[in-house]
Structure 1
Amino acid sequence: MRSVNVSAKNAAAYGNFVGRAMLRRQPAVTVRAASSVSSGLDNSKILVAGATGGTGRAVVEVLAAQGVPVRALVRDPVKASSGSGLAGLGSTTEVLRGDVFQYGSLPPAMEGCTAVICCTGAGDPRDPLGPFNVDYQGTLNLIAAAKLRGVRQFVLVSSIGADDLLNPLNLFWGVLFWKKRAEEELQRSGLTYTIVRPGGLKNKLGQGEVAGNIVMEGPGSFGVPPAKKSGSILRSQVAEVCVAALTEPAAANKVVEVIAERGAPAKSLGELFAGVNWF
């Protein structure tokens, strides 16, 4: 079976990292309300992995506001249906229980989807296997399932600093190292991809703070010196970048780093993607 091949391949190479997880699939649950706004995603259905995380939820909100059908892949449907989850985001949004580390749950979740936006990330700093299991193995499982189901596009949320082996964040069980390995697998997959590397993620603005305009550059532009100092960006802005990547031709097969800066010139996302040339 495909699930055995994918897991076995990586278990052979990274046997000391592979853990086990338990998964019980439940039927999809539809959540309520929605608006229908014309977008460039007609006849599309988007799978959002990590949909109850901060960035994933922001992506679902942007898609729901455009009336785009969304399948939100979550590990905890109860959390997804709570007020802080995905409740109230529209009749076009369905919630499906699944786990990126359990390959068998993914091909059914991909059925009928045209694109994937992956917003997953290891969340427990006490788990030394988290970055491997989620940021690497989980992403590889999503890529394999997408190819099996004929999904056309894959947007991956990674992180500024993924190229920097000595970045302090790698003290968190090599989280950026594993994100970079997942990026490479996506680039080799044959899927049309966009890899979005945000700076420091912010849920909302502080008192008196003004949101800056999005600044987008190629990989390695921000991070450890001599690269430019990394800034921050709202999760809602990252979500806008991810959704735009599905329709902007200039976003295809690019790695982009994004921050927000007050005083930066205001540009459309199409202009920002077109301005990144890194080959």
Structure 2
Amino acid sequence: MKTIKIAGVPEHFNLPWHLCIENGEFEAENINLQWTDVPEGTGKMCQMLRDSETDIAVILTEGIIKDIAAGNESSIVQIYVESPLIWGIHVDAKSTYHKLSDLENTKVAISRLGSGSQLMSIVNAKNQHWKTDDLKFEIVNTIDGAVEALGKGTADYFMWERFMTKPLVDKGIFRRIADCPTPWPCFVIAVRNEILEKEPKIIDTILNIINATTEEFKEIPSIDRTLATRFHQKIEDIQEWLSLTEWSQKKLDEKTFNTVQNQLFELNIIENKVSYEAVVK
């Protein structure tokens, strides 16, 4: 039995992985796939790949491209979720901010430097024609840290996946004032190059198993109820999320890769561009 470590956010996008593990599908192929939930998100997973704490990461596209450009010795093996990630822009429910323009020159809570929450706050600032050099950040690590920071006023707004954050909106803790969808597929599967070189057949088997599940995921009976229960969501929110979400079984194409990298370069998030062949395997 070959042990492979995989990491991802504890969010509804990753239920297909948990179903495959619970059903013993990897085990049947002599693979012990060990899943680690990473609530801190992409920045933390980039570090885990660098430190060999995980072999595979289900990770935000822009975050891993940024980190590979900065020297992370990993590669993107395929797209996992084709549809954009819808980032909700949230403030404390009692705050005096009511529209997006109110947030110019305020402080944004981010999970960590290099995280999707930081990168997308820069993308959002550019969309609003704000000066991206003037952005101020407060590192909060997790969504619970963001609740505390916005409540205390040490940060003013927080960007996180809209549906996972909606229970906090429903409880009157956060107020969502706008959305900012990613202009590219949101999640990819990244693998450390060492593992790709040593265990190519095992990686192929893992991808074949997860792709078979994601292809049919929406057709699983009562999948909306399962998701709502596991992730403490309202069923109507899950149904809307399912209607907007498309999984993928394809490689990241060069055009999309260039779109992401060019945006990161324009925003000064990366200093040097890397070739498509160096990132996508």
If asked which structure has higher relative contact order (CA below 8 Å, sep 6+), I would say 2
